[in-house]
Structure 1
Amino acid sequence: MSETASTARAPVALLPSLAPLLREWLPRRRWFAGKGRPVTGFTLVSATELLPVDSAGPGLLHLLVRVRQSGLAGTDRESPAHHGDPGDCYQLLLGVHETLPPHLAHALVGHVADGPLAGRAVYEGLSDPRLAALLLERLRTPGAIGPLRFHRTVRIPEGLAPRVLDAEQSNTSLVYGDAYILKIFRRIHTGANPDLELPLALSRAGCARVPAPVAWYEAGAGQADGSTLGVLQPYLQGSQDGWQLALDALADGRDFAAEAHALGRATAEVHTALAATLPTVTLETRQAQELAAAMSRRLDAAAQAVPVLQPYVPGLRTAFEAVAVLAEKGTTWRAQRVHGDLHLGQALRTPGGEWAVIDFEGEPTKPLAERRRPQPPVRDVAGILRSFDYAARSCRPANPQWAERCREAYCTGYAEGSGRDPRAEEALLRAYETDKAVYEVLYEARHRPDWLPVPMAAVQRLAAPHTDLPAP
Structure 2
Amino acid sequence: MQFTDEDLGAWVARQRWYAGKSHVPRFRILDVQPAPGATRYLLMDDAGAVPALYNVPLALVDAPSEGDAVVSRTADGYLIDAARHAAFAVGMLAEMGVDVGRVTGSRVLSGEQSNTSIVFEEDGHPTIILKLFRTLHHGENPDVTVQRALSDAGSPYVPRFLGSLDAEWPDSGRESGVARGTLGFAQDFLPGVKDGWAVALDAAGERRDFTDAARDLGTALAGVHAALGASLGTVDAGPEQVASTGLTWRRRLATAAAEVPAVADRLSAIDAVYQAALERPWPQLQRIHGDLHLGQVLAVQDGGWRVVDFEGEPLRPMPERAIPDLPPRD
Q: TM-score by structure 1 length? A: 0.63
Contact 1:285 1:332 in 2 (8 A): no
Q: SS of 1:208's equivalent?
A: coil
Is 1:126 matched up with 2:76?
no
* Aligned equivalent of 1:198: 146
Rg comparison, structure with higher value? 1
* Aligned equivalent of 1:340: 290
- Structural mapping, 1:398-409, within 5 Å: none
Residue from 270, 275, 289 that aligns with 1:324: 275
* Aligned equivalent of 1:379: 329
* Aligned equivalent of 2:9: 23
Say which structure is richer in strand.
2
* Aligned equivalent of 2:110: 166
What is the deviation of 1:126? 2.0
* Aligned equivalent of 1:63: 41
Q: Do the aligned partners of residues 218 and 240 (structure 1) sit closer, same or farther apart at CA in structure 2, a change above 3 Å counting?
A: same
Is 1:280 matched up with 2:234?
yes
Say which structure is richer in helix.
1
Contact 2:82 2:89 in 1 (8 A): no
What is the deviation of 1:63? 1.9
Contact 2:89 2:118 in 1 (8 A): no
Structure 1: how far apart are the matches of 2:16 and 2:78?
22
Aligned CA RMSD, in angstroms, stands at: 2.4
Residue from 218, 221, 233 that aligns with 2:166: 218
Structure 2: how far apart are the matches of 1:276 and 1:192?
20
What is the deviation of 1:204? 2.1
Any idea what the Cα deviations from partners look like across 1:376-404, whole Å, max 9, x if unmatched?
00111xxxxxxxxxxxxxxxxxxxxxxxx
Contact 1:133 1:161 in 2 (8 A): no
Structure 1: how far apart are the matches of 2:13 and 2:211?
42
Residue from 246, 253, 274 that aligns with 1:299: 253
Is 1:290 matched up with 2:244?
yes
- Structural mapping, 1:89-128, within 5 Å: 89-101=53-65, 103-104=66-67, 107-112=69-74, 118-127=75-84
Q: Do the aligned partners of residues 375 and 313 (structure 1) sit closer, same or farther apart at CA in structure 2, a change above 3 Å counting?
A: same
* Aligned equivalent of 1:457: none
Structure 2: how far apart are the matches of 1:322 and 1:38?
40
Structure 2: how far apart are the matches of 1:363 and 1:157?
36
Q: Do the aligned partners of residues 158 and 198 (structure 1) sit closer, same or farther apart at CA in structure 2, a change above 3 Å counting?
A: same
Contact 1:296 1:317 in 2 (8 A): no
Residue from 261, 265, 268 that aligns with 2:219: 265
* Aligned equivalent of 1:188: 136
Is 1:40 matched up with 2:26?
yes
Structure 1: how far apart are the matches of 2:86 and 2:320?
32
Instruction: After the TM superposition, list the runs of 4 or more consecutive aligned residues in structure 1 that deviate by more than 4 angstroms.
Output: none
Q: Do the aligned partners of residues 318 and 334 (structure 1) sit closer, same or farther apart at CA in structure 2, a change above 3 Å counting?
A: farther
Structure 2: how far apart are the matches of 1:321 and 1:286?
20
* Aligned equivalent of 1:243: 197
Structure 2: how far apart are the matches of 1:98 and 1:132?
15
Any idea what the Cα deviations from partners look like across 1:83-133, whole Å, max 9, x if unmatched?
xx4x201111212224334x24x6111224xxxxx5532222223xxx235
* Aligned equivalent of 2:172: none
Q: Do the aligned partners of residues 322 and 370 (structure 1) sit closer, same or farther apart at CA in structure 2, a change above 3 Å counting?
A: same
* Aligned equivalent of 1:355: 305
Q: TM-score by structure 2 length? A: 0.88
Q: SS of 2:4's equivalent?
A: helix
Structure 1: how far apart are the matches of 2:4 and 2:135?
19
1:159 alignment partner AA: V
* Aligned equivalent of 1:403: none
Structure 2: how far apart are the matches of 1:311 and 1:267?
31
Any idea what the Cα deviations from partners look like across 1:29-82, whole Å, max 9, x if unmatched?
11111112112231423421422xxxxxxxx2222221221xxxxxxxxxxx53
Any idea what the Cα deviations from partners look like across 1:171-197, whole Å, max 9, x if unmatched?
110111110011111011111111111
* Aligned equivalent of 2:263: 312
* Aligned equivalent of 1:137: 91
Contact 1:50 1:62 in 2 (8 A): no
Q: SS of 1:214's equivalent?
A: strand
Q: Do the aligned partners of residues 179 and 66 (structure 1) sit closer, same or farther apart at CA in structure 2, a change above 3 Å counting?
A: same
* Greater CA drift, 92-101 or 171-180: 92-101
- Structural mapping, 1:416-427, within 5 Å: none
Structure 1: how far apart are the matches of 2:280 and 2:194?
44
What is the deviation of 1:299? 2.5
2:40 alignment partner AA: H
What is the deviation of 1:165? 0.7
Q: Which runs of 5+ in 2 are unaligned?
A: 170-175
